[in-house]
Amino acid sequence: MNSTRKAEKVAGLLYLLQIPLGVFGIMYISKFLVKPGNVSATISNILAHESMFRLSIVSAILCALITVATAFYIYKILRNVDVTIAKTIVIFTLIVAPISLLNELNNVAVLLLIKNTTIVNSFSDTELQSMILFFLELHKYGMQIIGIFFGLWLFPMGYLVIKSNFIPKIIGVLLLITCFGYLVDFTTFFLFPEIEFVVSEYTWLGEVLMVLWLLTKGINLKNQIQY
């Protein structure tokens, strides 16, 4: 009993930590620093807010690592429902973590192209701007690929929550909706790039409720079914 209580609290705290790290690490650069169609302005913004740019890289890396830890503790909570399906929660995060880490190298490359004197002096301004734009775009595409797995880990989680009898089923349903929000965004980004509407910005409620439930209500151990 004490082990389960500890697991749910740790899972809730880690999951809660993911939210600010993910929002800052993923959205800060694209929303506030990158100016579409204006590479010069983007470079100026990065130079003016270099510490924040670097912090966003660290934030994205920490978010990926903490997601793995969160998945492990959620696995401990839900494994009694179906241990095989619960393992896929961890597997999806183990897949996405290295992709997330490698993707941040694109932003590191941007920093090198802007700050490293040897590199800067080796290319013309036009060439530098083209390469900086390339790595920023590559990072954006990488984030969409990462979004697949940030969605997929929610599918087994949502399913197990619905199947369980100790977490409200509505949370499981909303987790599935959040999952499909990420997958829809990936599909539209690659197949219908003219569509700029981001579905996942409106389907996040399931994750928030899962965090709140773990931190406040917790699992009703009397209702927990052993399989």
> What digits encode the pLDDT tens for the residues 165-218?
889 999 999 999 999 999 999 999 999 999 989 999 899 999 999 999 999 876
* pLDDT the model gives residue 225: 42
If you average pLDDT over residues 5-13, what whole number do you get?
A: 89
What is the rounded distance in angstroms from the CA atom of residue 203 to the CA atom of residue 209?
12
Mean per-residue pLDDT of the chain: 90
Higher-scoring residue by pLDDT: 103, 196 = 103
Distance of alpha carbon 25 from the chain centroid: 9
**Residues 6 or more apart from 6 whose CB is under 8 A from it?**
none
Residue 226 has pLDDT above 50, yes or no: no
12-40: average pLDDT = 86
Please give the span between the terminal C-alpha atoms of the chain, in angstroms, as a whole number: 16
pLDDT at 219: 53
Segment 26-54 mean pLDDT: 86
User: Considering only 25-39, 68-82, 136-150, which range has the smallest mean pLDDT?
Assistant: 25-39
Q: Residue 161: CB partners within 8 Å, gap ≥ 6? A: 78, 167, 168, 169, 171, 172, 175, 210
More confident: 149 or 217: 149
Q: What confidence score (pLDDT) does residue 163 get? A: 96
pLDDT-derived band at 15 (thresholds 50, 70, 90) equals very high
**Are 106 and 135 contacting, i.e. CB atoms less than 8 angstroms apart?**
yes
